[in-house]
Amino acid sequence: MYDYLRGRIVDSAPGRIVLEVNGIGYYLNTADQPGESFGVIGKEVQVWTHLHLREDSQTLFGFPRKRQRELFRYLIKVNGVGPRLAIQILSGIQPEELIQVMADEDWKRLTLIPGIGPKTARRLLIQLKEKLTDQELLFSPTEKMPTDPVLSQAFNALQNLGIPPESIRKVLKDQSPTESLEEIVKKALSKLAP
């Protein structure tokens, strides 16, 4: 129903904000992550939203980044994970780190999140990993380089040209590791060109 809302923050507390949009105050449940806040009261922001409908309630969830909302939507499709637990998971782990956990199959890291036991962590690992694309799992977001050898070589080559690692990760994410090193570097450079 709603893709995003753009408005002014009028109230904020851990796990929620109130966003005023054209005179209407929207109460949004949010993940409580350090460094992922929406900003200070009075600031105008864009919030990516998810409306969760139940027979007896309507709950609006808000996310500062679209990627965070996508992961939330993946999480609520896992058996036994509802919106409240999904928000709790996103409060306990950054989206990039969650993808890294899936790539490394590190279910024990998930048990560090309050409310996630070993059984739920293993189920999350299996079901969520199925939903993430192979391209997303090729990368170690918290590391400097992708895990695939050809993409790793391309990463090094582009970094030696003075290109920032974050920019390299963005362009290599779209590249197929089945192509030659030269093709990957050539395509990446064309995307990075102004």
pLDDT at 99 over 90: no
Task: Please state whether the predicted TM-score (pTM) of the whole model is above 0.85.
Answer: no
CA distances from 41 to 9, 10, 11 (A): 5, 5, 6
Q: 83 and 124 in one domain? A: yes
Q: Give the domain CATH number at 46.
A: 2.40.50.140
pLDDT at 42 over 50: yes
Q: 125 and 86 in one domain? A: yes
pLDDT at 84 over 80: yes
Residue pair 49/28 in contact by the 8 Å Cβ criterion: yes
Q: Give the domain CATH number at 72.
A: 1.10.150.20
Query: Which pLDDT score, from 0 to 100, does residue 140 have?
Result: 46
Element (H, E) at 26: strand 24-30
36 within some domain: yes
Chain segment 115-143, per-residue pLDDT in tens: 888 988 888 888 887 777 654 554 444 44
* Domain carrying residue 72: 67-134
Q: How many CB atoms lie within 10 A of CB 61?
A: 25
139 within some domain: no
Pairing mode, if any, of strands 24-30 and 58-63? parallel
Q: 71 and 130 in one domain? A: yes
130 within some domain: yes
Query: Which pLDDT score, from 0 to 100, does residue 134 have?
Result: 52
Angle of helix 149-160 versus helix 181-192 axis, rounded to 10: 50
Q: 98 and 71 in one domain? A: yes
Q: What is the mean pLDDT of the chain?
A: 81
Query: Which pLDDT score, from 0 to 100, does residue 70 have?
Result: 86
